[in-house]
A and B are shown apart, each in its own frame.
Chain A
């Protein structure tokens, strides 16, 4: 009885969040942009798979199928989807329709952000999962590959995380700059030279192109090996590397010379990307995603509508 009352109370409390989420998903699905994107994703995935069917093994072919999401052109669509909810003419309709009701701004923003993340993941998975299933199960005239289920799931999650980061970045820019077109232009100018910017801070590991190059290694990663690695305190090494990268980033920002340290070979030194760390990359994209959402909420909270 008590648990029923609690769940009903939670349901009432969550009602506006769920209503906005549902409404936004519905509006997004009704938009031409999303429908065109879905169709274009399906076509491009099909074309990439067919044209490389007999050329690549499973892992490089799957990485190639994921390339449009990480580098070009789908990042652009994802950013545009992220920019829209609180900018331009939508802000007025939003004020009249939703924010003049008993809804908190944070509640609205989180619901709008969740709707975009859910939509982006849905479009991404609905095309890529069947494509990967076909690629891995089909008998092709290429040598067998050692792609693992863990590798596929972790790679898909990783690309999904990058897409979530892009939605959040668009979301933040849309909130900060108000004008959707300006926000998109700024993001294009930031995202395209991102590899260059990251290399300045010795953070190449996080660049989308590097991720694409490292995906075949990750796709072949067995679950067992990861377990063994974690037993040998790899997490501590990851944290230490992440801390070093972060301190280097700060020292470059502040203009001071970083202390020389004995390090492993650079990320690009070997083409095998054995030093690719899922943990570090997850942190590298996860933390900015959280930061972008928090900043967007803070910024929106102070804004006049």
Chain B
């Protein structure tokens, strides 16, 4: 497997006090859309900054496309398009001037730079704002410009830190669609704590907690980690009927049922039982009774459950960590 990013025992300790990244080993396959997931303060941004050479590792090493990262690794940064969280942009410039400056920093010749800037501004929907100064831009517009800025040099690797932070639903949808589109030709690393974003766009995932990488693998691997298969049934009928149904379902081997909020029933299937078989039995009981089924939800969200489970396991391991 060809790797876009590889870290070995990467560690970052701030002022001998705060461990931001703790002995992290990470491999990001080339061409993947990799979600770097973790709660606030998990070390996601620090990891990205270490890859960019904006910070120096306390120990360990990081490589991008086989080249070592560091403050003077210009060749590494020429392969990366970085989008920081809520990018801090020069307010006195206009979008074209800003992108032109970044194009020059990437040593793009004039004849390549200008058409690319126009194409990018069109792609991120900022053509109508080219005569405005950046300081007048909304958060969404700044993020769009930040996205365009990360694509100016057409790099093969994109590191996007919280790309949907502070965006309205349509801007968020646009960003997620764009990541999906870019993922067809580039390696994209998206650092976020928003699980639904990861669920929609990523094919690989790394979960960070307190500076450590507690899981890295494909999305399928992640979902397979769920110990339990849960369903939520939304029913129509009286409360006694639902309680009675819960008792009937709980009598089936390998299935557990609990009353949920409102008229819902949470059905939990044991690991060694077939999901489809168990569900068929449950549906048969409902059909035989006098309740009607409104909807079935496959738990809350498989990724969310798996993620929370990972965090809980990591907390519970204590010293073993």
Contact = CB atoms under 8 A, between A and B. Distances in A.
Nearest to A89: B88
B104 A16 contact: yes
B90 A93 contact: yes
B92 interface: yes
Contacts of B49: 95, 305
Contacts of A139: none
Interface residues of A, number: 29
A99 B76 CA distance: 12
Interface string B52-89: 10111000000000000001101101101010100111
B153 interface: yes
Given A102-B153, A105-B71, A12 B109 contact: yes
A301 B105 contact: no
A12 B107 contact: yes
A235 B117 CA distance: 56
Given A12-B107, A12-B109, A102-B153, A302 B74 contact: no
Interface string A113-151: 000000000000000000000000000000000000000
SS of A interface (majority): helix
B210 to A, nearest CB: 20
B5 to A, nearest CB: 15
B74 A104 contact: yes
B101 interface: yes
Contacts of B89: 93, 96-97
A125 B81 CA distance: 42
Interface stretch (A18-26, A33-41, A208-216, A253-261): A18-26
A236 interface: no
B106 interface: yes
A25 B195 CA distance: 44
Interface in A1-42: 12-13, 15-16, 18-20, 23, 26-27, 30
**B interface, how many residues as a size bin?**
20 to 34
Given A97-B88, A97-B89, A19 B71 contact: no
Contacts of A102: 74-75, 77-78, 105-107, 153
Given A102-B74, A102-B153, A96 B105 contact: no
B151 to A, nearest CB: 12
A101 B159 CA distance: 12
A194 interface: no
A96 B84 contact: yes
Interface string B27-68: 000000000000000000000010010111000000000000
A246 B258 CA distance: 87
Contacts of A16: 104-105, 107
Residue of A23, A102, A106 with most chain B CB atoms under a 10 A cut-off: A102
B270 interface: no
A105 B107 contact: no
B54 A305 contact: yes
A304 interface: yes
A304 B55 contact: yes
A49 to B, nearest CB: 35
B54 A304 contact: yes
B256 to A, nearest CB: 50
Contacts of B87: 96-97
A62 B88 CA distance: 45
Contact of B88 (A18, A92, A302): A92
A27 B107 contact: no
A195 B54 CA distance: 40
B114 to A, nearest CB: 14
Nearest to A105: B71
A98 interface: yes
B56 A304 contact: yes
Contacts of B72: 104-106, 301
Contact of A19 (B14, B88, B105, B153): B105
Contacts of A27: 90, 92
B253 to A, nearest CB: 57
18 contacts: A15-B105, A15-B107, A23-B101, A27-B92, A92-B88, A95-B84, A97-B87, A97-B89, A100-B80, A101-B153, A102-B74, A102-B77, A103-B74, A302-B56, A302-B71, A304-B14, A304-B56, A305-B54
Given A19-B105, A23-B90, 10 more contacts: A19-B101, A19-B104, A26-B92, A27-B92, A92-B88, A96-B84, A97-B102, A99-B54, A102-B77, A106-B72
Q: Shortest 4 CB-CB distances between A and B: which pairs?
A: A19-B104, A102-B78, A101-B105, A304-B55
Interface of A: 12-13, 15-16, 18-20, 23, 26-27, 30, 92-93, 95-106, 301-302, 304-305
